[in-house]
Structure 1
Amino acid sequence: MKRFKKLLSIWGRLVFVLIIFLSAFVFAMFQGGYVSWAIFYAIFPFILYSVALFLYPLRTVTAERVIRTASVENGGKLIVSLKVKRDFPFPLLYTVISEKWRDEDIRFVTKGTMKKLFVFGFQKKEEWQYEIDRMPRGEHVLEGVEIEVSDFFGWIRKKHFIPLKNTVLVYPKMTDLHYAPIDTQYDLGSMISPYNVVKDTTMATGVRDYQAGDRVSWIHWKSFARTQTLMTKEFEDRRSQDLLVIFDGRPSETFEEQVELAASILKEATNDQAGIGFLSTGKESATFPFIQSEEQFRKVLVHLAKIKPSDDSAAIISTDYRDEFIQSGSVILITSHPDWAFLESVISNVTNARSITCFTVVKKDTPLKSVLAADIRLAKSKGISVHALTKEQFPTAFKGVIHS
């Protein structure tokens, strides 16, 4: 039906032009005289151009797009170059070239910068570069380029869509913050290793002399029977997660700030060579049990770039993640709703955690709501360390934890 209306509109315009031509010709024939024929000959070139424009094949026009900005963070600038080419130099007058994005909301950000009027003339190619300030975080898809041409008076209008797909991934903005292992506050001021080392008791690598405190199950009984000396098995040391970050995917006023905080913590912890895991809740939940390399961190960053808020029920951790995060050291929750239903679902999955810290992201100069304050008091009574943070406090987030 839509295609039928489009064809009816195009052919209707041609019929309108032909009616104008016939009317002018009939008027000149019956009226006669210099003035009537002068009007006819004056309007004839415009009618001829309109008919020629109607017959001109816009499908021969091609387009090329180059994304000039290699990586864009939330609120950053995107620079795009567009080149339109054709083979036949038909004189095009009013030509409007516009970019078509899959996300219609991006039009509010661009404010008309994705559309430009050209007088093409006889040129075979035209280049155009535009900038979009303050790109929002997310995966934005450019579907193609639309070309619209018109004659002198708008009698004939034609549109042609050129499929040209590009995906622009806008990453969360990351804040430089000072990361320090949270467990340092439990070591009486002495800094522990950024890695939590545990024994893999499934793989013995040798034996040593027995020391007080060694488990009975570690005693090498065959050696004792042979030498009558207690010897203890030595096991392979295996690094475990020093930190597990859990992101609350429920909608909130500070959702973008939460994403920024999560990305910043992961970046700094990875640079600090800490064993770190990440879990996001919601419909787009994802697990990254161990993040150490730059490539692994990049995968998490892509996930954080695409993540969108889920409904409240989907954010509750219903899946059992205890096998994936069995060696968690400290746990950081990033949320704006530290209600007990969510916290309880977290605790059931991190039963062996040394400590649980909840970063509750709030707006600056906004007093805590009574419900939020009650949730924070309840969480603290359950042994969870809760810290309310504004975006401006992100750089010192861990200082507040360590000195609390």
Structure 2
Amino acid sequence: MSKGKRLLSMTGRFVFIVGLFFSVYVFAMFQGGKVSWTIFYMLTPFLLYSIALFVYPMNNIKAERLIRTKTIESGGKLAVTVKLTRTFPFPLLYTVAIEKWADPAMELKTKKLSKHIFLFGFKKSVEFSYEIDKLPRGEHIVEGIEIEVSDFFGWIQKRAFLELKDVILVYPNTTSIKYVPINAQYDRGSLVSPFSLVKDTTMATGVRDYQAGDRVTWIHWKSFARTQNLMTKEFEDRQSEDIIVLLDGRESNLFEEQVELAASIVEEATNHQANIAFASVGAETVMFPFIHSSDQLQDVFVHLAKVRPVVEEEVQPLSSTLEASAGSIVIVTSHPDWAFLQSMMSFVKNTRSVICFVLVDTEIALPLPTQLQEQIRYAKAKGITIHALSRKQFAQAFKEVAS
């Protein structure tokens, strides 16, 4: 109902109540007798309350929201406490408070959970809590709280929307991946160790001026104590190599699994101090060329919480490139068609190898769709390492590639 229609309805109800009050009074005056005056005196408190409720200012009510769950992953629980306060203790009877969400799907999912019916009475404050289970990944916006109050018989019903915006970010789930590098080498022979692209931080070879993005643990504090200039330790590299993770943002039934795998790879690499970059390709290309700190990793996870798939026609051509130092591209997709893979390879320069994780919704023992088999066969013929895997195989993803 529009605001104009609601106001017209309220005015009509008020006129009805005032008219009823005078009608009962006139009836008692002309009719006389105990019965008519009893009816008048019985209805008077209810009618006066309805009139007082009509003029009661709903903007007297203020709201606060406390989100008790700080970090939520996909499928997790949101716990919220809402507190309503006011300065004028008018006796409110039937009060309904309900959270209003920007997303209609969330509105439908939470309607019964976030709706609270209570008797406000003369209290100046009241609070209620609710929990929502199995939240989907994404950015969920709660716009405010709608308050509805009513008199005894529902003659007067007043609503007010208390704007109170909060953004709930639900991050993708992550899996602890056992990384076995493909190109892990020192100057002599090969080495199987976690992340070939980490620096050997046990052996400092010198110092240099501090640069933005350097880790705090790399600062040479003795030099700082002597010179008052920040200096950063330089370490012996294990053959400097970059990993660039590319997420296919095209629409897919397995898009959530793609996001989870990409998040798991980036998190594992950052925890091992890898030289890693991340980019997602969709309606626009979003790049994170340096992920060295927890804040930079958080920026990636915020993006992965918000990212939404787009139809292939809306995918924008890549407008820039990332530079890699003899590194590897890791592509996460469920549609490994050659046109897409080729555009991804042109996006990154100076690469050593291309690894493509193809997400499937069946166990590998089962036959894959014919079209998917043909796409994988063609990509392998072009020199791309392809590994098809389901969600259950995330932990062993890189081990399978290396085998």
Q: TM-score, normalised by structure 2?
A: 0.84
Helix, strand or coil: the match of 1:135? coil
Distance change in 2, residues 1:316/1:346 (3 Å): farther
Q: Which residue of 1 aligns with 2:197?
A: 195
User: Which amino acid counterpart does residue 346 of structure 1 have in structure 2?
Assistant: M
Matched, 1:308 2:308: yes
* Larger deviation, residues 118-127 vs 369-378: 369-378
Contact 1:244 1:328 in 2 (8 A): no
Distance in 1 separating the partners of 2:28 and 2:118: 36
> Which whole-Å CA distance do the structure 1 matches of 2:367 and 2:110 have between them?
34
Residues 248, 333 of structure 1: 8 Å contact kept: yes
- The match for 2:34 is 34
Q: Secondary structure at the match of 2:146?
A: strand
What is the RMSD computed on CA atoms of the aligned residues? 2.6
8 A Cα contact 2:183 2:196, kept in partner: no
Change (3 A) 1:269 1:255: same
Does the 8 Å contact 2:184/2:196 carry over to 1?
no
Q: How far, CA to CA, are the matches of 2:396 and 2:110 in structure 1?
A: 34
- The count of corresponding residues between Structure 1 and Structure 2 is 364
Aligned match of 1:337: 335
Change (3 A) 1:38 1:239: farther
CA contact (8 A) 1:361 1:388 kept: yes
Shift of 1:80: 1.0
What is the one-letter code of the residue matched to 1:360?
A: V
- The AA in structure 2 aligned to 1:248 is D
Contact 1:142 1:166 in 2 (8 A): yes
Residue 44 of structure 2 corresponds to 44
Provide Cα deviations, 1:327-352, integer angstroms capped at 9, x if missing partner: 25111110111111101101222353
Q: What residue number does 2:346 align with? A: 348
Q: Measure how far apart 1:111 and its partner are.
A: 4.6
Name the CA distance, whole Å, in 1 between partners of 2:131 and 2:247: 32
TM-score (ref. length: structure 1): 0.84
Which amino acid is 1:48 matched to?
L
Q: Letter of the aligned partner of 2:116 in structure 1?
A: K
One-letter amino acid of the counterpart of residue 311, structure 2: D
> Unaligned stretches of 5+ in structure 2?
200-235
Indicate the larger mover: 2-11 or 249-258. Answer: 2-11
Where structure 1 has 5 or more consecutive residues not aligned to the other structure, the ranges are 198-235
* Separation in 1, partners of 2:318, 2:395: 32
Structure 1 CA distance for aligned equivalents of residues 283 and 56 of structure 2: 49
Identity of aligned residues (%): 53
- The range that moved more, 52-61 or 373-382, is 373-382
Call closer, same or farther: CA 1:127–1:286 in 2, change over 3 Å: same
**Structure 1 contact 316–341 (Cα < 8 Å) conserved:** no
Could you tell me how far 1:37 is from its partner in structure 2?
2.6
1:87 aligns with 2:92: no
Question: How far off its partner does 1:367 sit?
Answer: 5.3
Q: Give the AA of the match of 1:69.
A: T
* 8 Å contact kept, 2:197–2:238: no
Note if contact 1:284-1:308 (Cα within 8 Å) is conserved in structure 2. no
Structure 1 CA distance for aligned equivalents of residues 238 and 396 of structure 2: 31
CA contact (8 A) 1:316 1:345 kept: no
Greater C-alpha radius of gyration: 1
For 1:15 and 1:135, how far apart are their aligned partners in 2? 46
Which string of whole-angstrom CA distances, capped at 9 and with x for unpartnered residues, describes residues 46-81 of structure 1? 111100111111111111111111111111111111
Deviates more, 1:148-157 or 1:359-368: 359-368
1:391 and 2:391 matched: yes
Give how far 1:362 is off: 1.6
Q: Does 1:54 align with 2:46?
A: no
Aligned position for 2:248: 248
How far did residue 241 of structure 1 move? 4.5
The offset of 1:6, in angstroms, is 2.4
SS of the residue aligned with 1:268? Answer: helix
Tell which deviates more after alignment, 70-79 or 324-333: 324-333
- Partner residue of 2:130? 130
SS in 1 for 2:290: strand
Report if the CA contact (8 A) 1:316-1:342 is conserved.
no
State how 1:225-304 maps to structure 2 within 5 Å.
240-304=240-304
68-77 or 237-246, which deviates more: 237-246
d(CA) in 2 for partners of 1:247 and 1:19? 67
The answer to whether the 8 A contact 1:364-1:391 is kept is no
Give distance in 1, aligned partners of 2:183 and 2:91: 73
Q: What SS class does the counterpart of residue 127 from structure 2 fall into?
A: strand
Report the Cα distance in structure 2 between the residues aligned to 1:256 and 1:237, rounded to whole angstroms.
35
* Counterpart mapping for 1:1-16 below 5 A: 2-16=2-16
Determine helix, strand or coil for the equivalent of 1:119: strand
Q: Cα–Cα, structure 1 residues 109 and 2, in superposed 2: closer, same or farther, change >3 Å?
A: closer
Are the equivalent residues in 2 in contact too, given 1:194–1:242 (CA < 8 A)? Answer: no
